[in-house]
Chains A and B, each alone.
Chain A
Amino acid sequence: MSSDVRFTDFKSDKQPTWCPGCGDFGTMNGMMKALAETGNDPDNTFVVAGIGCSGKIGTYMHSYALHGVHGRALPVGQGVKMARPDIEVMVAGGDGDGYSIGAGHFVHAVRRNVDMTYVVMDNRIYGLTKGQASPTSRSDFETSTTPEGPKQPPVNPLALALASGASFIAQSFSSDALRHQEIVQEAIEHDGFGFVNVFSPCVTFNDVDTYDYFRDNLVDLQEDEDHDPNDYEAAKEVILDSDKEYQGVMYKDENSVPYHEKHGVTEDMSEIPEGAPDDAMDLVREFY
């Protein structure tokens, strides 16, 4: 790791094709800054991206990266981290990618508590497929596939994480640049699975969950002196409060023991001998 890494080193020379004004620009900038700020560089970082407008992030960033199939980014990230504990792993995707097709993986990634960071760009809509309801869409949100609204309550990703035994749960807003960066940074520094749900507005297909809406409604937990992120009950209260939109670190388990420590997965698995291991004949003798 070199100390003179700048966040622009994480930028690829590919120009984003996101719509002008898309929340994903801010989300990505904050991620790059957080990575640089925590002492990482492109050669020791692996970014896994999902599918969606959000998933294009892997293309616009510069690092080791994989842009996978829809909903499966988390398993890839866990595989990278287990094989290479020395590598910083960041997984990014959308609300559809993470909470719909990938919901099963989300629950299990959370409970495994692998030491990595998961950033979900939650725009409460499917952007890339042009405006269908997502799992976080409001129940009366009219879209091309739900003309009268989905008529079912939205998934609460923070509650899902809490119920799955998360060790770090946070939420940020892409246009509150500094706070977003700080929160992602804290997630990176957390020993375990750092989960950040980012309000990242879609200016093209979502005219309800807009910048103005979040600006007017967002409550920053940092300003609430009573909120102690280490307090599970307090976390539960804000996470289950459906009347308000919060940003900040909701929950952080100070005693989090990451997967690699629990399972003793600490070796760099990329190095192997040039032939069978020296004592390999013992494997055969076991069958005597």
Chain B
Amino acid sequence: MAEDLNWAVGGEAGDGIDSTGKIFAQALSRAGRHVFTSKDFASRIRGGYTAYKIRTSVDRVQSVVDRLDILVALTQRTIDENLDELHEESAIIYDGERSWEADIPDEMTAVDVPLKSLAEDAGGAIMRNIVALGAACEITNFDVEYLDEALEKRFGGKGSKIVENNKEAARLGQQYVQENYDLDLDYDLDTTDEDYVLLNGNEAIGMGALAAGCRFYAGYPITPATSIMEYLTGRIEDYGGHVVQAEDELSAINMALGAARSGARAMTATSGAGIDLMTETFGLVAQSETPLVITDVQRSGPSTGMPTKQEQGDLNMALYGGHGEIPRFVVTPTSIAECFWKTIEAFNLAEKYQIPVFLVSDLAMSVTEQTFRPETFDMDEVEIDRGKLVDEDEVDEWLDAQGRFRAHAVTEDGVSPRAIPGTTDGAHMSTGLEHDELGRRTEDEDERVQQVDKRYRKVETAEEQEDWDYREFGDSDADNLVISWGSNEGALREALEYLEEDDIDLRVISVPYIFPRPDLSDEIEAADEVIVVECNATGQFADLLEHDALTRLKRINKYTGVRFKADELAEQITDKLSAEVPAQ
């Protein structure tokens, strides 16, 4: 297992924990180290415990683990909350001059740094977190110049004075530790020549949307989806697009629908509660055959549940939400890089099949930052497929004897031609009512059956034409199979390394498509034991797979509100393998 460092900064919400963590993460990334971040946060703006955790290594890291090596604690609670992850070699940086007396277990290294007064020396108490970062650099033998680069990036826009003050603050922290402590900790942070980018899942979705030509986004703020909207705002304009903060989710999805019908690539994003409101319009999107990408960044439900916690509980809603029977695709990226690529794919699928596409991500992925080689997001690889969009000339082929455009023409592949406003002779009506080929209301039995069949035939066509693939890793010949979807993939990849140490071989399948999805029946049949891993209580994906393969599967479910950790998963998999298959 690679040598890695686990670092965290924690305090009260409002203490600037996020930006402190982000600055350190960027410094590490600039130094050519891999970074994987995670956040603990409460649903309050001030007065809640919050922490930003970084795992870093020269090798790739893609999961959180139960170990904390360096902790910058701005409050006692930060220490208490993390006690079970701290160990004998841990160092805790705190400010002994502050009113609280840090209660730190004896075996750990307590590094008392007068953060506030040193910050004041550098120009202002606000920089106390930067002093702590300087101290952390000293403890880990990490070149403080990388921190300088991150500070320039962060504060460059605010003028050179601010940048210089922050650099000075970091120096003072570094020096203080140098002069007052003779530490014998084993945390040398090697650097490499790699240039990495550091981004989270929501940023990857936003970037994917821009790459795919998304021009219109309407949304209503909700954790953890809002940062997609924040990313697009201020960037989409560069491409002639626009972001609207709608009055609610009902409006957001209807605005996006309007933009999509007028020919723009459009998207909306929300989380569970907002999806409930949007469900009213799903039917209309599907029935009017409008290409629309709807992103659900899942959080813990039901109702307002635990809004700042992880869960993969909306799968059934994405699959079955809405009255009547509605074809839709459900795409579920399994990594941050995939958030980018699957967003692009979602736009292509939506337009090729004129269907709503659910892009289902989750909180853990949305707030996690990870390092990637820039080529991971190679824009030359981006392909745009707008499907059967017809122009003035092509419209003619689709007119009936009276010269009316057959916008819902019954075709062999189920996909009809699409004319957008402004296209001569393409004018037509679309409606949520059942309709004929022209889009006009009908209750005729034959026409009803033809249209329902046509809409589902797109699904069959897509099943044949697209790769509804999965990713596989571990040992493909292993007797035991683990299946997962969404953000659990990273933890599973690392769990494999732990399991290997115990001589347990596993074949792992990570599935980025829920509907249509790859048929895993053969893989399930071939395995001795099959375990399905997901962050929900009931095993919604396992239900689907059991249904597909007509067999009972073992399940690992976590619904504490916290994502899986690699070491924890390894342990649970070991336990499950020897357990009985649940009774029918």
Interface residues of A (CB under 8 A from B): 12-14, 42-46, 48, 58-59, 62-69, 72, 74-84, 86-87, 104-105, 107-108, 263-265, 267-270, 272-277, 280-281, 283-285, 287-288
Contacts and interface: CB of A to CB of B under 8 A. Distances in A.
B216 A281 contact: no
Interface centre among A74, A269, A274 (most CB of B within 10 A): A269
Contacts of A79: 216, 218, 254-262, 266
B359 to A, nearest CB: 18
A280 B340 CA distance: 13
A269 B216 contact: yes
B415 to A, nearest CB: 19
A66 B254 CA distance: 11
A201 to B, nearest CB: 24
A80 B424 contact: no
Interface of B: 29-30, 153, 195-199, 203, 207, 210-213, 215-216, 218, 235, 237, 239-242, 244, 246-248, 250-252, 254-266, 280-281, 283-284, 288, 374, 377, 379-380, 382-384, 402, 404, 420-433, 440-441
B374 A69 contact: no
B250 A283 contact: no
B427 A43 contact: yes
Interface centre among A62, A63, A67, A86 (most CB of B within 10 A): A67
A65 B380 CA distance: 37
A87 B422 CA distance: 7
Contact of A269 (B210, B240, B244): B240
Contacts of A62: 427
Given A43-B421, A44-B422, A82-B255, A276 B262 contact: no
Nearest to B235: A283
Contact of A83 (B210, B215, B430, B440): B215
Contacts, number: 214
B251 A108 contact: yes
Given A83-B263, A105-B247, A77 B258 contact: yes
Contact of B257 (A76, A86, A104, A277): A76
Contacts of A12: 429, 440
B263 A68 contact: no
A78 B256 CA distance: 9
B250 A72 contact: yes
A83 B213 CA distance: 13
11 contacts: A66-B288, A76-B254, A76-B255, A79-B216, A82-B259, A83-B263, A105-B247, A270-B264, A275-B382, A288-B153, A288-B197
A10 to B, nearest CB: 10
A86 B246 CA distance: 22
A63 B262 CA distance: 12
Contacts of A284: 197, 207, 374, 377, 379
B431 A75 contact: no
